Amino acid sequence: MVFAVTKGDEVAEVLEGGMVRRLFSQRFFDASSGTRGHYLDVEGKTEDMLLLVSVSEDERRIVSVRRL
């Protein structure tokens, strides 16, 4: 799976051909790290997963992805 940050600060999955699909998430702001956390429930090829994707507020880039 490949993820990207949209202009609206949402997390999206990058699909084949470069298309993106916005993923719905529960978000929270972590002031100590300056990141916004996104809890994503995604469907993998073999199983469903809960991921925590951290996005830098200043740089609008993904800084980490953790499987929970």
pLDDT score of 44: 77
Q: How far is residue 5's CA from residue 7's CA, in Å, rounded to a whole number?
A: 7
Question: Which pLDDT belongs to residue 25?
Answer: 92
Task: Tell me how far apart the alpha carbons of residues 41 and 12 are, in angstroms, rounded to a whole number.
Answer: 12
Q: Residue 1 has what pLDDT? A: 86
Per-residue confidence of the chain (68 residues) as pLDDT tens digits? 899 999 888 999 999 998 999 999 999 999 999 999 999 998 877 889 999 999 998 898 999 999 99
Rounded Cα distance between 55 and 46, Å, is: 26
Q: Where are the domains of the chain?
A: 25-68
Choose among 67, 60, 56: nearest CA to 6: 60
Query: What global pTM score does this model have?
Result: 0.85
What is the per-residue pLDDT for 46?
86
